[in-house]
Every structure is written in structure tokens, then in C-alpha cells.
Structure 1
């Protein structure tokens, strides 16, 4: 991969105060992510619902999250980035409290969907705000720092939530809501509106007609769905495969925990170097590493072999996550940047649905060896597709930079 001049970071410039406010919001929001990992346990143990019903309620949160990506992107272009984030954080706090106090099934269903819908509105708005605030050469560093904050916060929250849950599940809802309010206050006091203003006499274009004519963007979205399908094998097929090999669930927790450890340790060391590579091609190579990392499952059957697999695909995830937001920001039209980022996030959500459906079924009917080989082959396919699309992405990036 050769370095591309447009992606060179501006090392001399300090990132603006508003960016660091967004960084704090990401960290606080993830530090308080107590409810979702323990939602099924809460519903089965505290509300005495069946496992199937509890799983369906958790799926309602996921469905809300998928819709949220698109809605959040649309809102950030129409009403503003700052307003969208405020709706997200303060609205999520209310939804969490209502879910924690809901007794009837209709109320539980409605509030679960609301938590998913409101909880992810900020994602596209944050991504668009970073692109608004920073020059193209600074975005890789910024998105990398946000990714690191997310993983640091989530690593802490998953450990502390287990301790807090022993004191009562109700506490998780209130603390999660409290951190959401804190994040909202940070946005209210420290983040200005950054949505680019339209030229006088012009109106904002509708999103979908533009997207449907954008073959480069549609190609990228399809590739991301493939990548997300691979990535979510780590939370669906991997624990089942380890169980088939006779490994206890506690070992799965240790092995998957390496993902956060690798990211928290290595990502700050690698982000400056990653910013010097050709972004679209780095995305392709990173996705290939993730696919091949999961593919190691075809030949390993003990805990350290699975641990090695996790370490390999975690390194690929670092490269992917550090630059993918910048790539989508580079190709998005300025006036529809929020909507583009929202559809990008939505594509990842689709993969989060497809992956847990495809992987476990393949494991059941084809066995672990063929399943993991299939995952690796999917990684090769999306790598080839991404590499083939890279020249067009670079041309669009240069065009947008010249007319910005």
C-alpha cells in the first residue's frame, strides 16, 4: 500500500476542544453501557420471562438500533448534529428509566425498541461532526481516538456491570441513564453546531435519490455488510465452536476479552502509522486479516488457538476501524454527510443481523471446519472487491477535497 498525499495527517495541529468533548462523550457513554449486556439476564431472572421472549426483546433493541442509524443521519443533516446528539442522550436516559420500570409486555417491547432507536442516534451525528471539524488529513487520527475511547469504556463497563448487577438490576438502568445525561450535558455545553450551511437560495437535496445513484457508495455499503457478517461471528459462532470443543464458557469470556485488550494497547501505537497508508486499500487489507483470523478456527481446537485467532482479527479490526469512518467521510457529499454516515452505520447493523443467523446455522449443518473456511473465503471476496473499488474511491476523495 502506497501512501496517498491527501491522507497525510497534520501532526502540528492540536485537535479542537469540540472534538475532545465528543471523545469524552464516547468514553462516558461506553463506561455506562450497563443495561444491554445484561438485558436478557434481567428479563429472565428479575421479570421471569422465558429465554425466548427475553431474546426477542433484546432483538427489539437491535431492530431499533438498525433504524436509528438511518434516522440519526437524516436528522443530523436536517435539524443539526448537535440537536440530534442531545435528542439521543437525553431521550435514551428517559427510555432506560422507563424500560427498567416497565411491567407490562407492551411497555417492555415499546421501551426496548425506544432504547435501541434513541441510543444510536448519535453515531452518525458524531461521525459527521468530526468530518465537519477536521481536515481530511486529520480524520484518521480523530476516528482512531474515538474508537479507542469506545473500547476502553466498554472494557471497563463489562467488568463493573457484573459487580453492580449483584446489587440489583435496577441500579444498572439508573446508572446507564445517568451517564447518558452526563454525555448530553457535555454536548450542550461544549459542542457547537457544525452542520455546513447551504448557499443562499439552494435547498438541501433528498438523501435516497442521491444515494441510489452513487455506485461507489453502494459498493462500499455492500462490502461493509460482508465485513460485519464476518465480525459478528466473534459473538455468535465463536462461543458455540468453543463449546463444541469442550471448552467452558468462562474460557470464551477470557478469549473474547483479548479483543478489547489488544485494541486498547495497540491502537494508540499504530494510529499515526496507519494514517500514512492508502485508506481504501488499508480497509481491504484489514478486512482480509479479520477474515483470515476467524479462518484459523478451522484448524484450532484449544483455548490458546482460539486466543491466537482473536488476536489476529483484533489487529485487523484496528486497521479497519481507524480509517473506515474517514473513507466514508471522504466520499460523502458535504450537504448529505450525516445521511451517508447513517447509512454506513446501518449497513453494519444489517451485518449484525446476518452474521448471527448465518454462522451458527452453518456450524450446525456444515461443521466448524467448513464454517470457518467459508468465513475466511468471504474475507478474501470483500478484500478483492475493496481493492477493485479503491481507485474510484481515491478519485472521489480528491474531487471532494478540491471542491470543499
Structure 2
């Protein structure tokens, strides 16, 4: 027990104050993130959209995320991460407030696209901030701290969202707006006059005096990003087809769905820093990402098993551990591959890989579930993830 406590404390040592403040901003912002987990249920229950129409709107969210990720990376390299994050947070507030006014498939899809462009431009700029303020030896743990904050917010947000949705779905949009506004105030107050850490030594072997290399010409990194995208397509069913599966296959209401999604965030908060700290000591980047992807495959393989309610918690637990072992190290690979002058572009491409998954995950998932059933979707996801785990292991070793 003492050894466990010591490892837990060691996992948090050496992290800078700005890294903790970035995590606080993310915590507040994600605590208010109630819209996306319930967007599919909102459209089927309140707007009477079909599953296919839900897939179209969620795919528009993904298209906006792709645009926002590229735009956020481009703007960050030119104007700095502070301004991109500030404008993203502030501009999202009125967009969340007006989105419930759009109730047709076409208008809601357009509104969700614009909202997604604005909110997702935050991600690459925030990733650059994490890399700039972290000490070189703590980059992966700094990303983990930020993700832990995301998931702590995600453990609270859906639970609150489930309660608010049971009153009125409009309240989840207003809650999201409030969270973004408070996060913007905290971010501006702390970071307005700060500069990122200037490292005396590069954390990679790239010549900083040479012309900046574009990630779009780095074929090894492009292949890595492709595999990350496939992993994310499978994983992000957590936000689209999984809530629908809980509702339709297990007859869960909004509150019960919110509790399961909140449990996922709780698991990540409890174990992420500890497991990442242990993985940094005992596993290579390639091994950690491999095992994370393999656990994602196992998580979906459990869903078709005809058992009780408890299997949903086992599955979401394994999915959460997958997230812990895979995603922070994927971000670290992108940071280590980039030069200081191209961090925005590399983190933008890394974010774009995950954002593209927001297009294909709901679009493919809802159609496969609608035409062939949820069990076919889960078995297919499992098979794909096994192949992705092997592919990521090979390509990360090359990187």
C-alpha cells in the first residue's frame, strides 16, 4: 500500500504551476461539456430524428472538428496559442446559446458544424500550451494531467447533463455555454501576461535552424496519424452509438446513461496519472499505445455478450484504461516529432486525426447499427482495432 501511495505521489511531482492552471481551465470547460454526449439522444427524443439523420448531424460535428483542428494549428503557429484559446472559448458561448433554436436536420447540421469549428480550434492551441509550459522530462505526464482534468469534467458533466436533460434538453446547451465562459475568464486571468517555457535543449533531434518541415510531408507521421484516426473512429463511439446502444438495447434512461459515461471519466481521473507514470518507467511509447489499443478492442468485444447490466460497466472500464494508455503517448509522439516552429502544425495534424474520427465514427456507426444491428458493429470494431494495434506498434517504433 505504501508503494502504491508513493508511486501515486511521484506521478504528480515536477509538474509546473502553468500546467496545473491549464488543467483547471480544461476541468471547468469540460465540466460544462454536456451537449456532445447527449446530442444523439436529444435528436432522437426531442426532435424525432431517425438514426440516419442523427448520423448526418454528428458527422457535421466531425467535419467542423476537422476544419477547426487544421485552422487552430495554422492560427497557433502565426498568432500564438493564447489568442486562439481565448477566442475559441469566448466565441463558443453565444453559439451554444443559439443552437437549440435550430430544429430541422439541415439547420441543426449547419449550426453544429460552425460550433464545432470554433470549439475544436481550441485543441491544437491547448496542446501547444501544454508542451510549452511542461518540462521536457514531464511532457507525457503534463498531457496526462490535462486529460485527467478533461475526464474529471467528463465524469461530472454528463451526470449533470443527464439531470438537466430530464428537465429540458435546452439546459444542456446553456450549461455548456456557462462552462466555456468561466473557463475563458480563468484562462485570461492567469495566462494573459505569461510566456511559454523556452527550452535550452530541444526535446527531439530536429535541426531548429533548418526550414520548418511540414507534417503533411512527413510520411511516417502521416501513417501514424492515419492509425490514430482509425483508433479514434472506434473509440469515439463512446459519444455516438454507445449512448444509443445503452438506450435501445438495454432500455436505460438519460440519467442512467449519464452515470455510465460519468463512471468512465471517474476511472480516468483515478488511474491516469498513476498508470502513465508506471508506463513511462516500464513501457516504450510503442508498447503502451499497443496495449491501450488492444484493451479498446476487448472493451467492444464484451458488448455483444448476452449478460446483465454489469457488463456495460466492465466494458466502459476497459475503454477508459485504453484511453489512459494510448492517447497521452500519441500526443507525446507528435510533440517529439515536431520542431518548436512547427508544433502548432504537428499538434494540429494530431488533433485533425482525432477530429476526422468525429466525422466517420457516428456516420459509419449509426448506419452499420441501423442496417446490421449493434452486435455486428461491435464485432467489426473489435477486428479493426486488433489490426490497428499491430499497425501502431510497428509505426511508432519507426518514429
> TM-score, structure 2 length as denominator?
0.80
Take 1:166 and 1:152, find their aligned partners in 2: how far apart are those partners?
Answer: 22
Q: Is 1:136–1:326's contact at 8 Å kept on the other side of the alignment? A: no
Gaps (5+ residues) in structure 1?
Answer: 1-9, 394-404
Q: Is 2:25–2:183's contact at 8 Å kept on the other side of the alignment? A: yes
For residues 283 and 15 of structure 1, do their structure 2 counterparts lie closer, same or farther at Cα, with a shift above 3 Å needed? same
Take 1:365 and 1:168, find their aligned partners in 2: how far apart are those partners?
Answer: 31
For residues 185 and 203 of structure 1, do their structure 2 counterparts lie closer, same or farther at Cα, with a shift above 3 Å needed? farther
Correspondence for 2:341 among 335, 339, 343: 335
For residues 248 and 388 of structure 1, do their structure 2 counterparts lie closer, same or farther at Cα, with a shift above 3 Å needed? same
Take 1:156 and 1:28, find their aligned partners in 2: how far apart are those partners?
Answer: 10
Q: CA deviation at 1:89?
A: 0.9
For residues 134 and 288 of structure 1, do their structure 2 counterparts lie closer, same or farther at Cα, with a shift above 3 Å needed? same
Cα RMSD (Å): 3.5
Q: Is 1:68–1:118's contact at 8 Å kept on the other side of the alignment? A: yes
Q: Is 1:69–1:120's contact at 8 Å kept on the other side of the alignment? A: yes
Take 1:143 and 1:378, find their aligned partners in 2: how far apart are those partners?
Answer: 27
Q: Secondary structure at the match of 2:250?
A: coil
For residues 82 and 168 of structure 1, do their structure 2 counterparts lie closer, same or farther at Cα, with a shift above 3 Å needed? same
For residues 239 and 11 of structure 1, do their structure 2 counterparts lie closer, same or farther at Cα, with a shift above 3 Å needed? closer
Partner of 1:354: 360
Q: Is 2:299–2:315's contact at 8 Å kept on the other side of the alignment? A: yes
Please tell me whether residue 99 in structure 1 is matched to residue 105 in structure 2: no
Partner of 1:14: 14
Q: CA deviation at 1:350?
A: 1.9
Deviates more, 1:352-361 or 1:68-77: 352-361
Take 1:380 and 1:204, find their aligned partners in 2: how far apart are those partners?
Answer: 38
The number of residue pairs the alignment matches comes to 375
Partner of 1:64: 64
Gaps (5+ residues) in structure 2?
Answer: 1-9, 200-208
Correspondence for 1:194 among 193, 196, 206: 196
Q: CA deviation at 1:368?
A: 5.6
Take 2:233 and 2:375, find their aligned partners in 1: how far apart are those partners?
Answer: 18
Partner of 2:29: 29
Take 1:169 and 1:260, find their aligned partners in 2: how far apart are those partners?
Answer: 22
Matches within 5 A, 1:382-401: 382-393=388-399
Q: CA deviation at 1:12?
A: 9.5
Take 2:346 and 2:177, find their aligned partners in 1: how far apart are those partners?
Answer: 29
Take 1:338 and 1:146, find their aligned partners in 2: how far apart are those partners?
Answer: 17
Partner of 1:249: 252
Q: Secondary structure at the match of 2:15?
A: coil
Please tell me whether residue 269 in structure 1 is matched to residue 274 in structure 2: yes
Partner of 1:219: 223
Indicate the structure (1 or 2) with the bigger Cα radius of gyration.
1
